[in-house]
Structure 1
Amino acid sequence: MNNDVYSSKPWLKHYDKHVPPTLTYETKSFAEKFSEMVQKYPDKTALIYMGAHITFKQLDELSNRLANYLLGIGLKPDDVVGLHLPNIPAHYIGVVAVQKAGGVTTGLSPLLTPSEMEHQLNDSRTKVVITLDILFEKIAEVSNSTPFTHVVVTEIADFLPGVKRVLGKLLKKIPTAPVNPLKGKEVVRFMDAIKQSPPASVLVKRNWEDMIFMMYTGGTTGPAKGAILTQKSYMSNRHQVLTWLDLQPEDIALSAFPLFHIAGLALGGFTMTQGITQICVPNPRDAHFLINA
């Protein structure tokens, strides 16, 4: 092997002009970086959801409330919260809240079969599941054979403007589904958990090497495996991607990649901690929505 080739670093000539040959990495956690964005851009829109605008300050308060709810039901550092949601505000709130509370999130795809769902919930030892009312039955189907103790249920209409929310339900433009009790589990509505919990700031101190996400592989070579992302690996990759793509706070991101997938979690989290406005795309197959977003 010719070491001279590597010492000359020929790949650097292919870097974009704005990309430096090396980077200096911060050691701020996801939650700390998000809080920094709240301080810088409190009134800036963080999320656009079917006409509704949620500012960074509002996202901060909502995630504080959910974090306080999670701590109130006994969530401990490294406990896992499963997010079984499309790209709607509750998913983003959930990601931030779990980080503030010192927990770990795992993305639960709505496309998982019952056996796949059962495997992931057991393998990750998920304690809390946040799901959608129209997906609730998928969780109920495996509730007797999985370890979670609490289910938080949101709706598509949550966080929509009042008129759109009411008319959407009356005209049956917004899908809904019944949510029934589960034996041995506590089931609560997302908005109730938010309203009943205080907005006091939450930031459970975590180490740079601590796990923050457990994202599962596609299972092409056997049962899906949980890939561990630490504060260090995730936030370092964030710095690399934001630098390479030259993403700035004034940019707007169309968030069509599902957050329950590693690509969506990466880009959604990277931009959220950069002060970038995101347009939530609940259904990326809806071409009309994408064109008009």
Structure 2
Amino acid sequence: MSTQSPYAARHWLRHYDYWVRPHMTYPGRPLGDILALTAVHRPDEPATHFLGAELTFLDLKRRSDALAAALAGLGIVKGDRVGIMLPNCPQYIIAAFAILGLGAVVVNINPSYTAREVLVVTGDSGVRMLITLDALAPLVQGVRSETAIEQVIVTSLAEYSSAAAAPPRVDGLLTFADLANRSGPTPDAAETTAELKVSTTSGVAPKARAASGVVQGFRPAHMLPRVRIDPDDLAVLQYTGGTTGTPKGAMLTHGNIFANVVQTVAWTNPTYVLSGKERYLVVIPYFHIYAFSVCMMVGISIGALQIIHPKYDPEQVLISIRDLRPTYFPAVPTVFVSLINHPGAAEYGLEHVRHYNSGGAPCPVEVLHEFERRIGRPLTEGYGLSETSPVTHSTPELAVRRPGTIGLPFPDTDMKVVDVETGTRELPLGEAGELCISGPQVMKGYWNKPDETAAALRADATGRVWFHTGDVASVDAEGFTSIVQRKKDMIIVDGFNVYPSEVEAVLYTHPAIRLAAVIGIPDPYHGEIVKACVAFKAGATGTPDEIIDFCRTSLTDYKVPRSVEVRDTLPMSAVGKILYRVLRDEHAALLQKS
């Protein structure tokens, strides 16, 4: 970015909250230090609340160290990829820090994926070991022979709940509890006990005994393998969709994610950061980089209690708000839509949550205003991507706000807007073009995809590397940024990216379908839903319901079309490309007529 660039002046800095510094020093330390330091300073303070049971920061540290030692004993070394295919639960945190502590790489896998989707991600990443739920073991076993997976480790949600259930036993698979106890005695599971604090609405009840081997016999930290981990070493492979329908693994380093943690903490009012009383309500899945960084890593770094929900259930979330009084609640827009439309929401004390933050998908201004009107608390927005660890922009907490924008760039984060056609010409302030980001949180590249990496990460004349987001945006004179249009064809359902090409690839395997195109259509609850437009082969027939059922066998639920339009043909350009814009315009016209 040259000195003549309209973005070089960084006008946005004057709108930062008073405590936010524009530049800072980053620690250059491995991510494992985040848990290690908090476990030293706040060993006995509660770190997680999950289904009625609590663990302290020292509990998490001991368990992650024990699991790391066990994984090392099974041959996991620096650079190996280990998949985590879990919903939100304490085991996710334990597994992530165990993997990171060895210098191995976390591969996040959505537990709702179909066998085909699991095969794509595990195959591309070369996962050697996979940690998942016992209920998902049959699915994993079904594709294991086609992958590099050597071992599968299973656990259950009930192990770490107040029920303190015995760990699951699945023939031929390893058990999470046994591995975390690998360095100590291994009595019969029924005789092995661990202590979990069982929470009640009035406080913490006497300790309950849980059939799990994860507490006894921890291997001391000094017996763990000594691994040098540099900031540029790979920490996470975060898969995002690709224009070819094949997901791309964004390579996020220890330095990338740690920088984003530091930036996020610096953005937060220090009164709350230093209080030691923060409580994060976590409904966004940890396998999504938003929760991985903003909830798990940031939360642990400031000693916040994480109130963990394995899935979003409005009733359970409202009960948590009423009984556990979270201070911070980040979520996707659909969550906030469901809360303001819940008939009994006013009875649960939503006004006591200090800060609500919307991310993962654009939040309609109408939703933002309605939420603030009903709840009486601010709902702020931000912006980020898998490729940026994820946050690049956020809304000031006390300074000027511009509802409908994504706020201002984070400290040490620069932006520019370039022409969409070539991506080389900077545009004036106020003009819409492709948003580009440069900062310490920007990924290293895409896993084994040099062409896609070269297209996304481009150096300017000064040698500075910029990530081309593919999102069309405009920046006003004060630096507030508005997303005009997301990546051309991408659909965002409940904060999850759906790439039409992936859904179309499944549709094209249907024997009756000749042409297929997938678009996103507005939905008041999900933000967008998937609509498929298809044309049949000559003489072939089918029904929308049959096609939807066909898609369910290969796609996770949020990717499945909610409606199918059967047409004689699809609109085409002169060179034979399907005109998605025409399909979207036609659907919009139908909505206006109705």
Q: Distance in 2 between matches of 1:52 and 1:32?
A: 25
* SS of residue paired to 1:67: helix
C-alpha displacement of 1:219? 4.3
From the two aligned structures, give the one with the greater strand fraction.
2
The residue number in structure 2 matching 1:111 is 112
The residue number in structure 1 matching 2:42 is 41
Q: Distance in 2 between matches of 1:91 and 1:227?
A: 20
2:302 is aligned with 1:282: no
Describe the shift of the 1:195–1:7 C-alpha distance in structure 2 as closer, same or farther (beyond 3 A).
closer
Q: CA contact under 8 A between 1:122 and 1:147: conserved in structure 2?
A: yes
Gaps of 5+ in 1: 170-175, 182-186
* SS of residue paired to 1:259: coil
Letter in 1 for 2:299: T
Q: CA contact under 8 A between 1:85 and 1:110: conserved in structure 2?
A: yes
The residue number in structure 2 matching 1:81 is 82
* SS of residue paired to 1:234: helix
C-alpha displacement of 1:235? 0.6
2:202 is aligned with 1:179: no
Q: CA contact under 8 A between 1:62 and 1:199: conserved in structure 2?
A: no
The residue number in structure 2 matching 1:195 is 181
Q: Distance in 1 between matches of 2:123 and 2:5?
A: 50
Q: CA contact under 8 A between 2:88 and 2:310: conserved in structure 1?
A: yes
Letter in 1 for 2:127: T
Letter in 1 for 2:245: G
Aligned-residue sequence identity (percent) comes to 30
Letter in 2 for 1:214: L
C-alpha displacement of 1:145? 0.4
Q: Distance in 2 between matches of 1:177 and 1:36?
A: 32
The residue number in structure 2 matching 1:97 is 98
The residue number in structure 2 matching 1:260 is 287
Q: Distance in 1 between matches of 2:306 and 2:46?
A: 8
Describe the shift of the 1:290–1:257 C-alpha distance in structure 2 as closer, same or farther (beyond 3 A).
same
The residue number in structure 2 matching 1:52 is 53
Q: What are the Cα deviations for residues 224-256 of structure 1, in whole angstroms up to 9, with x where unaligned?
A: 010000111111111111111336143111111
Q: Distance in 2 between matches of 1:259 and 1:41?
A: 23
Q: What are the Cα deviations for residues 155-196 of structure 1, in whole angstroms up to 9, with x where unaligned?
A: 1111223xx245xx9xxxxxx987343xxxxx1111111122
2:233 is aligned with 1:210: yes
Q: CA contact under 8 A between 2:153 and 2:175: conserved in structure 1?
A: yes
C-alpha displacement of 1:7? 5.3
Q: Distance in 1 between matches of 2:71 and 2:252?
A: 21
Q: CA contact under 8 A between 2:278 and 2:304: conserved in structure 1?
A: yes
Describe the shift of the 1:26–1:190 C-alpha distance in structure 2 as closer, same or farther (beyond 3 A).
same
C-alpha displacement of 1:8? 4.1
Gaps of 5+ in 2: 184-217, 321-594
Q: Distance in 2 between matches of 1:239 and 1:137?
A: 40
Q: How does 1:111-260 map to 2 (within 5 A)?
A: 111-161=112-162, 164-165=163-164, 179-181=170-172, 187-197=173-183, 198-201=218-221, 202=224, 204-219=227-242, 221-246=244-269, 248=273, 249-260=276-287
Q: CA contact under 8 A between 1:134 and 1:177: conserved in structure 2?
A: no
Q: Distance in 2 between matches of 1:83 and 1:4?
A: 43
* SS of residue paired to 1:111: coil
Q: CA contact under 8 A between 1:107 and 1:260: conserved in structure 2?
A: yes
Per the normalisation by structure 1, the TM-score is 0.88
Higher relative contact order (CA 8 A, sep 6+): 1
Letter in 2 for 1:188: L
* SS of residue paired to 1:145: coil
C-alpha displacement of 1:3? 2.6
* SS of residue paired to 2:48: strand
C-alpha displacement of 1:135? 1.4
Q: CA contact under 8 A between 1:129 and 1:148: conserved in structure 2?
A: yes
| Matched residues, number | 277
Q: What are the Cα deviations for residues 80-127 of structure 1, in whole angstroms up to 9, with x where unaligned?
A: 110000011110100111111221101110122222211111111101
Q: What are the Cα deviations for residues 58-81 of structure 1, in whole angstroms up to 9, with x where unaligned?
A: 111100110011000000101011
Quote the RMSD (CA, aligned, Å).
Answer: 2.1
C-alpha displacement of 1:4? 8.0
The residue number in structure 2 matching 1:26 is 27
The residue number in structure 2 matching 1:173 is none
Q: Distance in 2 between matches of 1:2 and 1:206?
A: 36
The residue number in structure 1 matching 2:580 is none
